[in-house]
Structure 1
Amino acid sequence: MVKMNRFIQFNDETVDTKTLILYERLARALADANYLELTERKLLEFRPEEGVLSMTVFWRHRAEEIMHAGRLSDIYLLSAGFWKHFNIQTWRNFTLNYEHHTLKQLAFELLLMLEEFRLSDKIMNERPGTVDAFTVRKEAYVAFHRTGVQTNMRMGHLADALLNELYIVLYEGTFAGSSIEWGPIQFDLVKSILENAYDTKSTEENVYVVNRIMTVIEDSIQADLLHQYYSIGDAFTGKEIAPFEYHEGMQDAESGEEDSKDTIEEVFRTWHEENEEEQGVHLQFELEHGRSSKAIGEDATEGSNEAEIEETGYGQSVGDKSEQEAEDEREQTGGRDNPKKQAGHQFGKEHLNVVYEEQIVEIQNEIENRRKLQLWRESQKPYVRSFVEEMRKRIDLKQETKRERLMHGRLSTKLTTLLIDERPKPFYRKNAPSTQLDAVFGLLVDGSASMIDKLDETKKAVLLFHDVLRELQVSHEISSYAEDAFKASAEVQPNIFGLMHTFQDRNSDSGLPILSFDAGEDNRDGFAIRWMADRLARRPEKHKFLLVFSDGEPSAFGYDRNGIVDTAEAVMESEKRGISVIHLFLAKEEPTEDQRAIFSMIYGNKTASSHTVEGFSDQTLRILRKLLAIVIRTN
């Protein structure tokens, strides 16, 4: 789980996850599509198969305000422009017509450039608040192309230089002078044709403009573009987007089921709907695509994405409920006989193929662990005793205080308020005594392989956490989380939650299970946080806290690219549900600046670290002291 140092520093750039999430939500709102994801790539890009929009890295390493405005202009173009107003069928026909042309790439990118200009103007007219962002975009790209035209002419890349110059003319006006000698290219004629782009209202009209320009220049330029400036249309080039894989005989049944798609929005929605129907364990049968197949029975039950995968099934009579009730009880208590569960859509798009188990941690090396447990508790006893006494004194102090200057309640002995105040409040109320703290805790312990060298110190901190909350009679649950890296694949990612103490265990002693916890392989933090948040959300307590003990970044199968963003989203979702998420970084040395920045992006200001492994327990007490003080103060 600890991130390795990259060989080249610029490859180690990180994205501000909270800002990226806000950009993603803006894109979803403008496109009216909650399933979209936003990433950063070399060029603006659409990927229907993944439901992804990509803004460009062009804006990196600039002033903060320019970078922000530039990225906003990318999002506006992608989700409010090309998304609804770029005609896919026209684009496909156009690319097919130029498929064998010697300057086909120049034609493609010229059309996309004209479409960018048309859609930028359309968006600014419909949404005046976007003008500032597009102004920044214009200035940055005109400067980029002004440099490009000189460089490309010097290098002899005539097609690239022409595209650079046409971009400048398009945005600065056809009367803008050019310092380039264009030789055989009838540049003035090209500029006069380009003037038509100011009045185009559709992709078809821009195709007409491009065709006229290509007719003028095709005999004057020998080589096509060397560089790529636009990749927006790459996913839609050709007759059709790559189809789904059908079982033999199913294509005929589905022929004519769908009309051609004219907009990027329609293409994305089609892929999204198809993927929705393809998800879920109820579809894991012989047919790969069986929507049109006939059911064997007339009263068949409709499949569900939330269905559970069970490795073995046993028959039983309809009237006998005892086995089912026993199974329900095992599921509630996290028994080791629990069936595997499919994560599905409940835990986010990154975890659709996760299959997880909730297992009670089995006691290992009982004699040795009992001895170790006794020694650890003896050494921690003074800290537990002093901490519990401090909390109880705070509770007692809270009970003795009273709220004064109220409109209702007991009449105070200080009646001067009746004469002095315009609206006197001479009443008071004693705070109702409460010895029970209205709080619940969930503790997630990273179970990845990188924890092996600090297991004992981690167990001591977890044991201290458990003993303190037991003494204060505060409900809590403790679980490790890990992914089986050896069995993980694109189709299934097995995850295990090792339950050391559950809510159903109440105030029982779970010292031995805590000492029996062991490390696994990988860790899927966003998934684990959502899982624990769901359990906490069902609790009746007023204050809910979710603590995460980990030693680095999220790391699991297919999770390296979006792990940080997904975990940050999971934290934000939990906070919205009234669950405070707190992170403790477990490491043998002080975290680096890069690590601090990553934890801050994920957990905000609710992250702490220890300079040494011996300090895990101290940090645990410090976190508990702050959280319980909040509970007592607001009780």
Structure 2
Amino acid sequence: MKFLVFADTKIDSFVQMQLIDLARSLSKVDKMDVSFSYHSNLERDKDIVHVSQFWNPYPREIQLEGWKSDVYLRSFGTQFHTEDDVVWDTLDQLKTHPHREFLKQVLLFSEDFRLEELCIVKRPGMAHAFKLRKETFQVHYNREYRKHIQNKRVLDALFCHIILLANKRFVAVPPQTQQLYQDLRPTLTKLTSAHSTKDIAESILQMAAIIEQHTELSDMKTAYRSFSDKPQLSDIENNTQEFDDLTRNSETKTEKSIQKEDDKDGKEEQEKEDYSSWHDETSDPQDSFLQMDLDQGTNTDLLGEAAREAESGDAVFGSVQTSAQSTDNNDFNTQNEHEAETDSNQSGSDSKANYPYGEVNKNVTEHFVPAKPASMEEMAEYEAFQLEIAPFVTQLKQNFLKTMEHKRTSPREDLHFGRLGKKLTRLATDKNPRLFRKKTESQHELDTTFTLLVDCSASIFNKMEETQKGIVLFHETLKTLRIPHSVVGFWEDAADATTNDQPNYFHEVISYRNSLHQSGASIIQLEPQEDNRDGYSIRRMGEELLKRPEQQKILLVFSDGEPAAFDYETHGVLDTHEAVTKTRKLGIETIGMFIANGEVTEEEEKLMQNIYGPQNVVVPSAKELVDYLMPVLRKLLFKAL
């Protein structure tokens, strides 16, 4: 049984990515997120725009424009033109009112109505979405009005009447509220011409005094709109602490605070060693002016947390503890704070530095599973797979070696372009002289490495055998051509996943160090497990590829469905798309291969397009994986030549 329609509705990930980009552009907040909720509102403290599930049942065109109008209204309207404190204070004053829900709904509708007009004036491009929104709401509230009249919910019906009247569509005032409507009419007129949230709040409080006299009317039962909750004091303190850390307030202390700390911890300060510095504001340089050793990075090819490779343009940054000096000019507070905040962002204090694998993966714990020695059964099964794919391996090898040989032995002289040769007399004797040559190449060697990342989620249980054949083709082909590579299965343990701990496993069945001489029987050890967190896995394997010395690095991903893990359903596709984009920016060619269940649907094609862009391959069934993998490997290998 389905209790709620929206609970089973699947949101298009590409649409969500569009809405997130739109919200970030309009709100000027880099980390603004979009969530699908029952009502549309803005959580300013969490940087989340909530768009309404109200639009889910509508056709695609109306649905998209409706969500866009929600984003316009919140990320541009509410973000810059709503005074949250005024709304919260007004709602606090209405807490004990007998008709508080009705007044709250009128308050929120009036604010949205004002914001719509403001958005259209400041951003005319939003007019189309708001026009469609208004037409849809007219039909919806007309239907709601009739329902409330039948159920004798008079204040609910009056609220619908107010909305329809504001949108220039007239319906009769509910008979029981005729007198109330006449009393409220002057105040309602003021709401349509309000210029600020404060103006609306004042009118609502006037309405509260009027409607309080009508004790015979019960309060409104339906909630059509909502507003974000007021942040608690603890949240404000946490945010203040984070802001202080971000702006380095602890490092820009005033002279008084420094003096207090000196008095309190005098003994400790005496034991500390001071390094004095000099600049234009100090009277004279001290004796120990910048006396310290500065070391430049050592020459190394390590890419981990050890020393980095030095470059000719390197600048050395050192942190120096200086003694406090009085200056003649002290009007740098604002500038210093701004510079401190910018420096903090550059040094990695933002969320990207705190969550290098994405905020949705901040609670992931990593576990590596080494390959076990292959059993007799695994070796026998591998040999059977090897015999089956041997013709494909031979074909790839022959085509590749012929291409390499042709390139190596192709004519190097008498060319139309290249280096200028010595036989320049042809310029006078020939009508179409070939005066150029190319430098003779030595034996061409591939400077390439591969990583194959295999989705080991539970949904691949009926495809694993055919998937293993594709992995065997991958391994045997690269092994024959002496190209180092690795094969890694990944999954998340759904049974042990909690809010604070999501264990993710990497099963390396073929390693770089042994890939050119080890048997691939350990590939058979890959088995269906539970969930898959693709974005995190792609980021981690990208890091491992960056450690490789080869120039060309290729990451190939086998997957059979949309990413699904603990608290990952909403942002799984978006996180994976961001991981692919980031990995490609690092110079790693990332290609996705999707294994369908016998027939490729439009949704599956669109999913892969959303995640990997044009560099994706959709395989109709696992049985055809080898046939589809052949041209992919051929293209990648020839590209490396």
> Structure 2 CA distance, aligned partners of 1:388 and 1:443?
19
Matched letter for residue 215 of structure 1? A
Two-structure CA RMSD over aligned residues (Å)? 4.2
Match 1:216 to one of 198, 203, 210 = 210
CA distance in 2, matches of 1:274, 1:43: 33
Distance 2:203 2:530 in 1: 58
Residue 95 of structure 2 corresponds to residue 99 of structure 1: yes
1:205 is matched with which residue: 191, 199, 210?
199
1:286 aligned partner: none
The answer as to whether partners of 1:17 and 1:602 remain within 8 angstroms in 2 is no
Highest RCO, 1 vs 2 (Cα 8 Å, sep ≥ 6): 1
Q: Can you list the C-alpha shifts for 1:140-166, whole angstroms capped at 9, x where unaligned?
A: 323333333344334322212222222
Whole-angstrom CA distance in 1 between matches of 2:204 and 2:107 = 6
Alignment counterpart, residue 396 of structure 2, candidates 387, 393, 405 = 387
Name the counterpart of 1:29: 25
Equivalents in 2 of 1:87, 1:42: separation in Å?
23
In 2 relative to 1, CA 616–88 (structure 1 residues): closer, same or farther, beyond 3 Å? same
1:118 maps to which residue? 114
**TM-score between the two structures when normalised by the length of structure 2:** 0.72
Q: Which residue of 1 aligns with 2:516?
A: 507
Shift of 1:510: 4.8
What is the aligned partner in structure 2 of residue 284 from structure 1? none
* 1:152 match: 148
Task: Summarize the alignment of residues 606-625 of structure 1 with structure 2, pairs less than 5 Å apart.
Answer: 606-625=615-634
* The one of 352, 358, 368 aligned to 1:348: 358
* Cα distance between partner residues in 1 of 2:29 and 2:558: 35
Once residues 443 and 105 of structure 2 are traced to their aligned partners in structure 1, the CA distance between those partners, rounded to angstroms, is 71
Q: Percent identity?
A: 27
Write out aligned runs for 1:67-216 (5 A): 67-172=63-168, 177-180=170-173, 182=175, 183-216=177-210
Aligned to 1:15: 11
**Match status 1:226 vs 2:221:** yes
Task: Tell me by how many angstroms 1:51 deviates.
Answer: 4.5
Report the Cα offset of residue 105 of structure 1: 0.8
What is the Cα deviation at residue 480 of structure 1? 0.9
Distance 1:460 1:356 in 2: 28
Q: Which residue of 2 aligns with 1:549?
A: 558
Amino acid corresponding to residue 201 of structure 2 in structure 1? V
Equivalent residues of 1:42, 1:57 under 8 A apart: yes
Q: Is the 8 A contact 1:398 1:431 kept in 2?
A: no
Counterpart-to-counterpart distance in 2, 1:530 and 1:392 = 33
- 8 A Cα contact 1:51 1:272, kept in partner: no
Equivalent in the alignment of 2:593: 584
| Alignment: residue pair count | 540
What is the rounded CA distance, in whole Å, between the counterparts of 1:50 and 1:607 in structure 2? 35
Cα deviation, residue 481, structure 1: 0.8
Name the SS for the 1:440 alignment partner: strand
Q: Does 1:567 align with 2:561?
A: no
- TM-score, structure 1 length as denominator? 0.73
In the aligned structure 2, how far is the partner of 1:222 from the partner of 1:54?
Answer: 33
Contact 2:478 2:485 in 1 (8 A): yes
The amino acid of 2:371's aligned partner reads V
Query: What residue number does 1:311 align with?
Result: none
Aligned to 1:390, the other structure's residue is in SS state: helix
Deviation at 1:492, TM superposition (A): 0.9
The answer for the alignment partner of 1:249 in structure 2 is none
2:234 to 218, 229, 243: 243
- Which 10-residue stretch deviates more, 127-136 or 489-498? 127-136
Q: Confirm or deny: 8 A CA contact 1:104 1:224 kept in the other structure.
A: yes
Partner of 1:332: none
The code of the aligned residue for 1:509 comes to Q
Q: In the aligned structure 1, how far is the partner of 2:194 from the partner of 2:420?
A: 74
Tell me which of 583, 603, 612 is aligned to 1:603. 612
The answer on whether the counterparts of 2:457 and 2:530 sit within 8 Å (CA) in structure 1 is yes
Instruction: Call closer, same or farther: CA 1:488–1:242 in 2, change over 3 Å.
Output: farther
How far apart in 2 are the matches of 1:275 and 1:104?
41
Q: CA deviation at 1:395?
A: 3.4
Residues 164 and 76 (structure 1 numbering): CA distance in 2 closer, same or farther, change over 3 Å? same
> What is the DSSP-based 3-state SS (H/G/I as helix, E as strand, rest coil) of the residue aligned with 1:243?
helix
Give the Cα separation in 2 of the matches to 1:242 and 1:532.
Answer: 42
8 A contact 2:51–2:71 mirrored in 1: yes
Query: Structure 1 residues 66, 184: closer, same or farther in 2, change over 3 A?
Result: closer
Distance in structure 2 (CA, Å) of the matches to 1:581 and 1:54: 32
The correspondence of residues 234-633 of structure 1 with structure 2, limited to 5 A, is: 234-236=228-230, 240-241=231-232, 243=234, 258=237, 345-365=355-375, 367-399=376-408, 400=410, 409=420, 435-505=444-514, 507-539=516-548, 541=550, 543-586=552-595, 589-591=598-600, 594-629=603-638, 631-632=639-640
CA distance in 1, matches of 2:613, 2:2: 25
